[in-house]
């Protein structure tokens, strides 16, 4: 099953869920506020897409923590990300081993077709 990871009040997550519904795609929503990802789950996502893709450096949490001015290792950033999961760029789509990060309808379409979740 396709998983959409994010927070429910995020406009991009809402739009993603609506887009998936409009295409008739079944998914399970994972609310990281209620069910935070484990450090291992975050590391797995980071391994698949890279920290630069996974970490939202434009969000308020990133700015409020002053991370731009800190020289943190990837390991330290992952630990901060575990404690502040609203810094995960949204939405995160996960299907088996495939991961897609960010709102992009064309990318959604390609991702779903590649994983045979959407007919041509």
Question: Is residue 119 in a domain?
Answer: no
Kindly tell me if the per-residue pLDDT of 119 is higher than 80. Answer: no
Kindly tell me if the per-residue pLDDT of 27 is higher than 90. Answer: yes
The per-residue pLDDT for range 54-72, each reduced to its tens digit, is: 999 998 999 999 998 899 9
Kindly tell me if the per-residue pLDDT of 120 is higher than 70. Answer: no
The per-residue pLDDT for range 9-19, each reduced to its tens digit, is: 999 999 999 99
Concatenate the DSSP letters of all residues of 59-119 into one string.
SHHHHHTTGGGS---HHHHHHHHHH-GGGB-S-EEEETTEEEES--HHHHHHHHHHTTSS-
Q: How many CB atoms lie within 10 A of CB 9?
A: 9
Question: Is residue 79 in a domain?
Answer: yes
Question: Is residue 14 in a domain?
Answer: yes
C-beta separation of 27 from 3 below 8 A: yes
Name the residue with tokens 């959409």.
4
Q: Give the pLDDT confidence score for residue 17 in this predicted structure.
A: 98
Distance CA 76, CA 59 (A): 18
> What is the count of structural domains for the chain?
1
Task: Give the range of the structural domain holding residue 20, as residue numbers without chain letter.
Answer: 2-114
CA dihedral for 69, 70, 71, 76, sign (positive or negative):
negative
The per-residue pLDDT for range 71-85, each reduced to its tens digit, is: 999 999 999 999 999
pTM of model > 0.85: yes
CATH of the domain at 86: 3.40.30.10
C-beta separation of 62 from 88 below 8 A: no
For the annotated catalytic residues, the residue numbers are 10
């Amino acid at each position: 099953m396709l998983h959409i990871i994010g927070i429910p009040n995020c406009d991009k997550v809402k739009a993603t869920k609506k887009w998936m519904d409009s295409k008739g795609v079944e998914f399970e929503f994972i609310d990281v506020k209620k069910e935070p990802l484990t450090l291992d789950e975050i590391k797995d996502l980071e391994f698949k897409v890279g920290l630069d893709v996974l970490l939202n450096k434009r969000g308020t949490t990133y700015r409020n923590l002053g991370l731009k001015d800190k020289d943190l290792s990837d390991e330290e950033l992952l630990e901060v990300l575990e404690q502040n999961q609203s810094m995960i760029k949204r939405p995160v789509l996960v299907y088996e081993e495939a991961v897609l990060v960010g709102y992009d309808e064309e990318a959604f379409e390609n991702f779903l077709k590649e994983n045979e979740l959407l007919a041509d």
